[in-house]
Structure 1
Amino acid sequence: MPTRRIIFNRLALDARIGILEHERRATQPLHIDAEIDVDIQRQVDDHDIHTVLDYRQIREAIVEECTQAHVNLIETLTEQVADRLMRDFSEIRAVRIRISKPMAFSDCAAVGVETFITRSPS
């Protein structure tokens, strides 16, 4: 089945993440990059948003998953976001999520973790 890729580039938000004491007391900025492969199940109708997966809904799910509760490890958060997208959107075939902490170190732009998962063929 053909696929279409939806891309989020550096979605910026503040989240409660980290295992260190100062990270537990305050939010910190995160950058999220995502590539979402979607099965093309029907022809696109330029006048009907329902003929495509509305990326506003994907963004909303990513933001909600990243901001709903404190998470200790960035590895955990990337897996939670990927799992949520696969669970909530049946037309998604594969998800690559990269979450970065731009304030983690002063000597690099960011440090992050990437997770890639695919749906098992039916």
Structure 2
Amino acid sequence: MFSALSHPSLRHCRRLFLRNYEVMINIGVHDFEKLGEQRLLINVDLYIPLAESTPRMDQLDEVVDYDFIRTTVASRMARGHVQLQETLCDDLVAAMLAHPRVRAVRVSTMKPDVYPDCEGVGVEVFQIKDEA
């Protein structure tokens, strides 16, 4: 089975990540889900070429700042209700890939409180930026 992470364009990349970022969001298609917020865990991996993320002067502007990830997530959350986790993941992936240094991104979301007999339900998307 071919792993996306072995794709040639991801060689020589640095991976930045945000793990289990907990947000309260109005998400869901059911009427009861539209009445209030629920807990959502968000994970993001950004793949950035080493040539564009290896600091020479130990300065923040030489790398992709972690704040970019959190600000991008917060910006999407501020847009209001979303029905599907798939939509949210796709929106976040598109926003992350818009950064000129980001080559690929993986975003996952998980609702941890939906079912009492499992850790959670969620969606994951992985996309490599088109090389043009």
Query: Normalized against structure 2, the TM-score is what?
Result: 0.85
Which stretches of structure 1, 4 residues or more, deviate above 4 A after TM superposition?
A: none
1:24 to 27, 34, 49: 34
- Tell me the amino acid that sits aligned with residue 49 of structure 2: D
Is 1:4 the counterpart of 2:14 in the alignment?
Answer: yes
The residue that corresponds to 2:8 in the other structure is: none
Q: CA–CA distance in 1 between the matches of 2:70 and 2:53?
A: 22
The residue that corresponds to 2:59 in the other structure is: 48
2:72 to 55, 61, 66: 61
Q: Once the two structures are superposed, what CA deviation does each residue of 1:57-116 show, in whole Å capped at 9, x if it has no partner?
A: 2211012213421011111111011011112x1110001100000111111111100011
Q: CA–CA distance in 2 between the matches of 1:95 and 1:42?
A: 15
Q: Once the two structures are superposed, what CA deviation does each residue of 1:5-40 show, in whole Å capped at 9, x if it has no partner?
A: 001110101011000111101010100111110123
> Alpha carbons of 1:116 and 1:42: their partners in 2 closer, same or farther (altered >3 Å)?
closer
Unaligned 5+ residue runs, structure 2? 1-10
- The 5 A counterparts of 1:1-122 are 2-40=12-50, 41=52, 43-45=54-56, 47-87=58-98, 89-122=99-132
User: Which structure shows the higher strand fraction?
Assistant: 1
Give the fraction of aligned pairs with identical amino acids, expressed as a percent.
26
Unaligned 5+ residue runs, structure 1? none
What secondary structure does 1:92 align onto? coil
How many residue pairs were aligned? 121
- Tell me the amino acid that sits aligned with residue 108 of structure 1: C
- Tell me the amino acid that sits aligned with residue 122 of structure 2: G
Deviates more, 1:51-60 or 1:36-45: 36-45
